[in-house]
Structure 1
Amino acid sequence: MPAPTFEELFRACHRTAVHLESRDAYMKSDPVFVDWQAGQTIDPAERWGSWLSIVSEAVSRGVEVRRARIVSVPVSEYIRFEYDVTAGLNIAAGEDVRWLSRRNTTGLSLPGNDFWVFDSSLVYVNHFDGEGEPTEPELTEDPEIVKLCGAAFEAVWSVATPHAEFEPY
């Protein structure tokens, strides 16, 4: 049986979906990022309609969706892009988003990869190459990894700044 897709995992989620991001750049070849760099207005509903649907549908089922981003300050151009689209994309879909300066993570034990934890029982690990392009993800229900990732997310969340209060510039 093939592993479930990310969308299937999200749609099967019942209580919580938490995501920790820790890179200063992702997929710089992404057409939306390229358009943003060129000064074009980005319409999240047009560019990420399926993501908005997946998250808003989960939130309407009662799933709490939270995202924490660890970033270097001053932020990279890519993080400025993410910040600029967060309200119209992530928050509009129902996510709660917080930001944490990398400077404030020294005392935290953190996994070396970005990840999602679904319902405190399954971890979807995001892997990237050196240019920020996604590579093969990893899925695990290993209780120790689930516990580590869940604790790392909560540690970041507890000291991170809510999106509306974060100043990236």
Structure 2
Amino acid sequence: MPSSVPPFSELLANTHKSAVHLEMRDNYGTNPRLEAWQRGERVDWDNQESWWHPFHQSIKDAVARGVIVRRARVISEPVSEYIRWEHYVTQANVIAGEDVRWLPRSHATGFLVPANDFWLFDGNLIRFHHFGGDGRHVMDELNTDAGTLGLCVAAFEEVWQHATPHSEYTI
């Protein structure tokens, strides 16, 4: 079924002040970069051309326009292999201009968070991500409901306030 949700790059290109991303899964399925890491291959961070993707350019362009891009990840500990890999490749997000933080799930008890990961653009548009039980992406959904926006803003800020900056979080 074709999606009516615009691509992430388009949503971010229309963002003026902030884009925040809340992730709460310990596994997002498999992909070729994860499989390469599992085989022992590592990123040559000095060779940006080898790992730079259009996603990173979208983030860099937004940050250059003054958009603040933050990502918070709520994770289980001990971490899954997927999260171990994700922590490793987060260096690319940081180089692109994202501010990334990590919050162990055990430190989030008592927080109210949505059941789905999301991107929130300028505090007025949410792009929810729906995943299957195997971690694979199923679909995205846009939402502009004021009540839902308020809940997502509050949830993200609560997680952000308690999370550890990427440079300080070790696995």
Instruction: Report how far residue 42 of structure 1 moved.
Output: 2.6
Number of the residue aligned with 1:109 = 112
- Give runs of aligned pairs for residues 49-64 of structure 1, distance below 5 A: 49-64=53-68
Over residues 64-115 of structure 1, what are the superposed CA-to-partner deviations in whole Å (9 max), with x where a residue is unaligned? 000000001111100000001111x110000000000000111100101100
**Letter of the 2:125 counterpart:** L
Is 2:70 the counterpart of 1:66? Answer: yes
Q: Deviating runs (4+, > 3 A) in structure 1?
A: none
Q: For the aligned residues, what is the CA RMSD?
A: 1.2
DSSP 3-state at the match of 1:23: coil
* Whole-angstrom CA distance in 1 between matches of 2:49 and 2:119: 23
* Whole-angstrom CA distance in 2 between matches of 1:46 and 1:124: 29
Number of the residue aligned with 1:46 = 50
Instruction: Report how far residue 36 of structure 1 moved.
Output: 0.5
Is the CA contact 1:32–1:42 (under 8 Å) kept in the aligned structure 2? no
**Letter of the 2:19 counterpart:** A
- Gaps (5+ residues) in structure 1? none
DSSP 3-state at the match of 1:127: strand
**Letter of the 2:34 counterpart:** F
Percent of matched pairs sharing the same residue: 48
DSSP 3-state at the match of 1:97: strand
**Letter of the 2:127 counterpart:** Y
* Whole-angstrom CA distance in 2 between matches of 1:135 and 1:47: 25
Number of the residue aligned with 2:12 = 10
Number of the residue aligned with 1:23 = 25
Over residues 19-63 of structure 1, what are the superposed CA-to-partner deviations in whole Å (9 max), with x where a residue is unaligned? 0000001122x0000000000123564344201100000000000
Number of the residue aligned with 2:100 = 97
- Gaps (5+ residues) in structure 2? none
DSSP 3-state at the match of 1:111: coil
Instruction: Report how far residue 150 of structure 1 moved.
Output: 0.8
Is 2:154 the counterpart of 1:151? Answer: yes
**Letter of the 1:122 counterpart:** L
TM-score, length of structure 1 as denominator length: 0.94
Size of the aligned set, in residue pairs, is 165
**Letter of the 1:127 counterpart:** H
